[in-house]
Structures are given as C-alpha cells and as structure tokens.
Amino acid sequence: MVKNILLIRHAEAQFPDSETKDFERHLTNNGEKQATLLGMHINDLSLEFDAVYFSPANRTIETKNILKSQLAYSPQELLAEELYEATINLMKAFIGRLDESFNNAMIVGHNPAIARLFTHFAFDVKDFTPATCALLSFEADSWAMLSANMGTEQDYYYPGMR
C-alpha cells in the first residue's frame, strides 16, 4: 500500500508587530495569491487527498481555506493544535498517529518543522519559502511504519517556479 503526504508551508503572512501576536498573523495580499496558485497546483496533481490537517494559527487556516477553494474535491478538515510551534520530534510522532483510513494527507504547517520533516523523510534539503509544498510517497501499510529516508519525492512546488 502507498501512503502520501503533501507537506505545505503556509503562504506569506504579515510581519509580526507589537500589537499582533504571532498566532494571529494573517496572510498578505501576495499570500492570498500564493495560496490560490498553490491550490490550483494541488488540484492538478494525479491524486485526491482524503484529509487536510492544519495548525490553528490564522495564516495556516487562511492558506488551507484558499487552497481548498481551488480543489475539485473536498478533503476532510482536521485542526491539529500540535502543528503550531512543532518540533521535528513532535511532527514525526504526529505523522505516526494519522488516521489509518486516510492514504493521502495534506499538512499545512510552519517552518522550520515542515522543512525538517521533509528532510527527515526524503533525506534531501529543500527550501520551503511561503506557500511551498512537497509530495512524499511511502511504501507502507500504516502511518506508524514511516521512518527516516523512507519517502520518495513525487512533487515539489512553490508559486512562481513555473
């Protein structure tokens, strides 16, 4: 069986300031455009995602909502509080606990955790600028079976690259 994870860094967000907490930052106008292009790209991939897990921060919720509006299908939405300020160890444990009824999952999160998770699974280093996504496939029957260097990169995209 094949399990697929699409790792997504949220789109461009407002700079933090003294009046706005990091958690409350919203997407910029450019970030909204990035999320739209990202959603169009995801819709063009050769598979449909069963679920989208997302951090509760405003910028990840907004990224998820905009990209989902571009899809011709409707993945289940699952808020995952542990994705905000996640460490690599927390991210690895989170992946191991994904719902086994899902074979294709999107994760909308933050750097550096998203980039480090990609490196852990793909044994490669990629730049995860805002609105970057990478699709990894795993020959595994269970999310809990995923381990280091086990993922195969199927796709890598950020708005403006093509």
What confidence tens digit (pLDDT) does each residue in 128-152 have? 999 999 999 999 999 999 999 999 9
Task: Identify the three-state secondary structure at position 2.
Answer: strand
Distance in angstroms (rounded) separating the CA atoms of residues 21 and 57? 10
Burial 124-145 (b: 16+ CB within 10 A, else e): eebebbbbbbbbbbbeeeebee
- pLDDT score, position 162: 65
How large a percentage of the chain has pLDDT more than 70? Answer: 99
pLDDT at residue 12 greater than cutoff 80: yes
For range 21-35, the mean pLDDT:
94
pTM: 0.96
Tell me the per-residue pLDDT of 74-130, one tens digit each, with 9 for 90 and over.
Answer: 999 999 999 999 999 999 999 999 999 999 999 999 999 999 999 999 999 999 999
Domain ranges of the chain: 2-14+21-157
Distance in angstroms (rounded) separating the CA atoms of residues 71 and 109? 19
For range 36-53, the mean pLDDT:
97
- pLDDT score, position 20: 81
- pLDDT score, position 21: 83
For residue 112, give every residue at least 6 positions away whose Cβ sits within 8 Å of its Cβ, in sequence order, or none. Answer: none
Distance in angstroms (rounded) separating the CA atoms of residues 4 and 23? 28
Helices (H), 45-151: 58-69, 88-96, 113-122
Q: In the CATH scheme, what is the homologous superfamily, with its name and number, of domain 2-14+21-157? A: Phosphoglycerate mutase-like (3.40.50.1240)
DSSP 27: B
Distance in angstroms (rounded) separating the CA atoms of residues 117 and 127? 12
